[in-house]
Amino acid sequence: MYREYYKKLLQQLSIDYNCTPADFRAKENIVTPSALREGRRSYSTGKPFLEMATLGGNTVIMAEECLHGFLNDLIRNTEGHRLFELENLIKLNEELKKYGYQMAPTHHMFLPCCEVEAEERCRVKWLHEGEISAFYGNPLFPNAIAFPEPCPARPDRIAVIAINGDTVMGMAGCSEDAPHWQQIGIDVLPEYRSRGIGSYLVTLLKNRIIEMGDIPFYGTAAANVQSQNIAFNSGFRPAWVETEAVKMGEEA
């Protein structure tokens, strides 16, 4: 399973980072010109100023031409994954400030690696595009669906909610970030955490996406151990790490 998704990941990342799939398996780090290729994932408006990703070996950085000289010096004689270490991120951040940008947090991304049967934990209800709209703007679910309003570039496709009587205990949802690439997000209300509800909902949604013929993926922060454990429990494994530059004062 993982090998199949890994090959598709290389194809998608090559679109996202304006390069070839082989560039992510190269020995050396690679800098490419910023571009908006059709079918790419996009998490900010307009052409990216800088985006970088690694699968654990080399790093590919897509950036505006004004940064290329600095970047070529930065990546020289540096292992790809070490470009995501604090020392190098600080150097990169200082350079970006000259142009009114700053580094956003890094995102640790996961792909399915095995089949997991969802052991029933609670009653659930499935929501599709029209039914999700009732939850937009609800501060209890900022990760499961777009917040505070729908995002046309990454439309929410499906959500599944855990129910206790009339109370929604948690929600897992997926947004189509690129054609057939469904990113899963999860929110469980604090009083219902540590009961396995998050893993249950994510597993249900992951399995449904696979049944649809699409690719589920999952992202979280480096220090969000609870979220990472949900990914592991639901049959995901780490696949790549990425980050980007955002305009100063803006959130990624």
For strands 236-247 and 101-103, give the pairing: antiparallel
Calculate mean pLDDT across residues 82-95: 98
Cβ within 8 Å of residue 127, ≥6 positions away: 135, 158, 159, 160, 161, 173
The mean pLDDT value for 204-232 works out to: 97
Mean pLDDT across the stretch 145-162?
96
Q: What is the pLDDT of residues 39-68, one digit of tens each?
A: 999 888 889 999 999 999 999 999 999 999
Measured distance CA(22)–CA(162) in Å, rounded: 42
Task: Tell me phi and psi for residue 69, to 5 degrees.
Answer: -60, -50
pLDDT band at 252 (very low <50, low <70, confident <90, very high): low
Write down the pTM of the prediction: 0.95
Q: To the nearest whole number, what is the mean pLDDT of the chain?
A: 96
Average pLDDT over residues 137-155: 96
The answer to whether the beta carbons of residues 218 and 183 sit under 8 Å apart is yes
pLDDT of residue 232: 97
| Digit-coded pLDDT (tens) for 160-213 | 999 999 999 999 999 999 999 999 999 999 999 999 999 999 999 999 999 999
Task: Let me know the angle formed at the C-alpha of 155 by 150 and 157, rounded to the nearest 5 degrees.
Answer: 115
Q: What is the reported pLDDT for 2?
A: 87
pLDDT over 70 at 83, yes or no: yes
| pLDDT at 106 > cutoff 80 | yes
Going along the chain from its start, the domains and CATH numbers come out as 2-110+243-247 (no CATH), 115-234 (3.40.630.30)
CB 107 within 8 A of CB 246: no
Mean pLDDT value of segment 124-148: 95
Average of pLDDT values for 16-31?
98
What is the C-alpha to C-alpha distance for residues 193 and 251, in angstroms, rounded to an integer?
Answer: 27
